[in-house]
Amino acid sequence: MRGLWVVFAREIGDAFDSAVAFVYLIGALVLSCGLFMNEFFLTARLDMAPFFRALAPIAGLLLSALTMRSWAEDLKTRTIEIWMTLPLCIWQVVLGKFLAALSLWAVFLVGTTPIVIMLSSLGSPDLGLIASSYAGAFLLGGLFISVGLFASALSQDQVVAFVISLTLCTLLYASGHAKLVAILDGQMDGLGRGLQAHASALFHYQNFTAGLVSLASTIWFVGLTAVFLGLNGHLVSRLRA
């Protein structure tokens, strides 16, 4: 466990020392909160549904940007050779990087809680619904982070890693879009709905934003996150071999 926390502390330190974390987090907070406030003043509804609708694509962009350098930078500067010589298990390094990025995502989510305070001061929003939506957002972020780490291990070019990660996140998100589901169902009955239920992050995320804390959706998020982390570990272990 000590090795894992050494990696975690190193990754967090690098993110804040280079100001990457500050820039991305502040930018994402301004964008997401700005979109919500614009919607709020237009509709005057005491709920965060517009915020959580906009959050999924923002998460894809933010987390692809945050994770693109995780392995790509190590590969480019050859510091990955240092990781390989340290008395650390591959999984300690992978999980340390994952938990560091997940912590930054948690900081971002905490940074949006003034919206909850504002809505509560104006009326009585459904706090249970808001809590379940935050739980879904946290799980969605964990999945996108694992995708980003996997993409970063594929190339030493950060831009390439970003594009691969964003593409994969977009596919996971778009596969549950109602229009795509309708088109695929029109081609073959049940194809779109099957893809939506088994391969769509949007479908499972929407369960949470609808107030349904589903065990099946939780298992789907955790399971797919573990798959991408496993692929990440496999790629890195090949470098050590």
Lowest pLDDT segment from 50-59, 62-71, 75-84 = 75-84
Q: Is residue 32 very low, low, confident or very high in pLDDT (cuts 50, 70, 90)? A: confident
Q: What mean pLDDT is predicted for residues 90-99?
A: 88
- The whole model's pTM is what? 0.89
Q: For residue 142, is pLDDT > 90? A: yes
The pLDDT of residue 102 is: 95
The set of residues, in sequence order, having a beta carbon less than 8 Å from that of 99 and lying 6+ positions away, is 4, 8
Query: What mean pLDDT is reported for the chain?
Result: 83
Amino acid letter, 166: L
The pLDDT of residue 181 is: 55
Q: For residue 96, is pLDDT > 80? A: yes
Lowest pLDDT segment from 6-15, 105-114, 159-168 = 6-15
Enumerate long-range contacts of 99-102, CB under 8 Å, 24 or more apart. 99/4, 99/8, 100/7, 100/8, 100/11, 100/12, 100/15, 101/11, 101/63, 101/66, 101/67, 101/70, 101/145, 101/148, 101/149, 102/141, 102/142, 102/145
Domain boundaries, the chain: 2-240
Place of tokens 């399971």: 223
Q: Is residue 140 very low, low, confident or very high in pLDDT (cuts 50, 70, 90)? A: very high
Q: Is residue 132 very low, low, confident or very high in pLDDT (cuts 50, 70, 90)? A: very high
**% of the chain residues with pLDDT over 70:** 83
> What number of other Cβ atoms are within 10 A of residue 199's Cβ?
14
Q: Is residue 63 very low, low, confident or very high in pLDDT (cuts 50, 70, 90)? A: very high
Lowest pLDDT segment from 43-47, 149-153, 163-167, 236-240 = 236-240
Q: For residue 79, is pLDDT > 80? A: no
Question: Pick the residue with more confidence: 31 or 176?
Answer: 31
Q: For residue 240, is pLDDT > 90? A: no
Highest mean pLDDT among 60-69, 109-118, 219-228: 219-228
Amino acid letter, 17: D
Cβ pair 15, 107 in contact under 8 A: no
Amino acid letter, 160: V
Using CA atoms, how far apart are residues 68 and 169, in angstroms rounded to an integer? 13
